[in-house]
Structure 1
């Protein structure tokens, strides 16, 4: 939603060994994919890269004919197709670039035999950071099988790249759906949170901590009203084996969602995911952030104090039970924070907000979300403009110095010849 937020990358481990597989369990697809006609060119996302925001379905309701695409579009598709290993292109048709990250690209593909759509995440493993992200994601995705978690289908490995074939989520991001939706109540919020909590509880049971839960990583599987939510992007996830120390020490995450214990560099547990879910719940019901400041230091101070308010719209219309749910997650002491199981058993979630006001919160939430997106885009443009200005000044000063050197050299030659 909006321009997004920067990610605090993990501190690199001292020794990184990439353990990859050529193939995971074979995928047994749906014989009749009722959502085939929902596949849109740019309205999809899988894995960690951030796709273009605010992408909407085609007015015709059908994907474009690639044979009729303008030259730049066809050239871009051809460019990424050329990067793929022949083993991949022998099995999948490369359709479109749908997301990108620092060391990865995500493309929409179609299985040649079944015509089933998938996403392939191509990670450049020749770079250390790319290897680390790849290792982390594969370590998690090879172990998980859950309806609310993005599914890894198979993996292809080359010397410089890894290709991860994954499920394709075509329903868009959580908050984009809320804005497009005509209404949103507390009951709708509990439906969303139940699905996310089910996935998080499953991960925690396996000893996996996501460490980067945020709205951008919660996607709808398809555009239908009955679509499930899927958790994606396991680039910062930590997977612990049985008997391992359950404490983690790596400083990582997205600033607005980082738990206090990570900021003070204390060993932490999977309760950091529950703090992030508290932040998500707060945004889900208001369209605003509990902790927000353009200055990173001031933002972290807010988080460490754990002070937030329920002032402004639509909070007067939100039930006390919903606020109690958030309060039990945004607790500075991780020992007092609800676990995923406890959150699923909270009265507000169990009752599906039955005793809460069924007032439509959509207008206030949408206005707040759009206002924040606009503000962040302006900040990003301003920062880019400042960087561009600095770069221009630097270029100009370099040119001046080069001209002065040429003039001095010319004068020196003239003196020598004279």
Structure 2
């Protein structure tokens, strides 16, 4: 069955509406290869939410990632204002349904595409929220592993004062079983830390590398390791092959550039931690 057929089935399957009978089901606001996201409104409170409807038989090998995402978001999403809240998770024979905050502002990625570059004050506001959320999940033994603008959502369009980290599908828990180290290569090449590419074991420092890439991207309008192919991007990451072009960074503070450098350190043991990042002069309030 094709993904388009799967999506069509999501539109009409009665079991989905049976689960959501307490909500007015609105428009489709997003689609993925195995999911549809709709706006829904609680009939009693009139509060708006988003519901992600995921078809199980389209997941195939990705089923474990959805189950892991539900477990992690159930544990941490209500504990920090900059993590997308999972209010309820439903499961039927055919579907998972995840009821979350409604991000009416869309993805940070869309804002990057529209604006190109952000001024330093706005970047500081955005990154401080992300680092605060990352510090919280790290404190709870979780590593996100796929931080990028596509996984950062805005509550309202062009309002950068309330952001949510979303998509914990590649996140994992550091526990006794993992011995505090993960080995699966995952993430998006341009944002992936060198130790993840090398598959020699990685942990929470990979998220700070991604934070450094995002900071650079917001300032410059392009990513530090942006190349023509993913393979070339990964090669650039492994060599720390990036610069601060003077025409882009001439009016950017030394504190901002130092923050980026502190995140983009090859050795994860020497990389800045999330807690220390919050105290960095660039982010310090």
TM-score (norm 1): 0.62
Alignment of 1:205 onto 2:139: yes
Q: Pick one of 270, 279, 290 that aligns with 2:213.
A: 279
How many angstroms does 1:137 deviate by?
A: 0.9
CA contact (8 A) 1:124 1:131 kept: no
C-alpha change, 1:296 and 1:338, in structure 2 (3 Å) is same
Aligned to 1:90: 21
How many angstroms does 1:183 deviate by?
A: 9.2
C-alpha change, 1:187 and 1:227, in structure 2 (3 Å) is closer
Aligned to 1:125: 56
What are the Cα deviations for residues 39-82 of structure 1, in whole angstroms up to 9, with x where unaligned? xxxxxxxxxxxxxxxxxxxxxxxxxxxxxxxxxxxxx9996143
Alignment of 1:237 onto 2:168: no
Distance in 2 between the 1:299 and 1:182 partners? Answer: 20
Distance in 1 between the 2:158 and 2:241 partners? Answer: 38
How many angstroms does 1:247 deviate by?
A: 0.3
Aligned length: 276
Matches within 5 A, 1:113-152: 113-126=44-57, 127-144=59-76, 145=78, 146-152=80-86
Structure 1 unmatched ranges of 5 or more: 1-75, 352-418
Distance in 1 between the 2:54 and 2:11 partners? Answer: 13
How many angstroms does 1:277 deviate by?
A: 0.4
Aligned to 2:148: 214
Higher share of residues assigned strand: 2
Q: Secondary structure at the match of 1:128?
A: helix
Structure 2 unmatched ranges of 5 or more: 1-6
Alignment of 1:265 onto 2:196: no
C-alpha change, 1:335 and 1:85, in structure 2 (3 Å) is same
What are the Cα deviations for residues 193-224 of structure 1, in whole angstroms up to 9, with x where unaligned? 11111100000011111110001111111237
Q: Which structure would you say has the larger RCO, counting Cα contacts within 8 Å and 6 or more residues apart?
A: 1
TM-score (norm 2): 0.89
Larger Rg: 1
Q: What RMSD in Å do the two structures reach over aligned CA positions? A: 2.4
Q: Secondary structure at the match of 2:19?
A: helix
Aligned to 1:340: 274
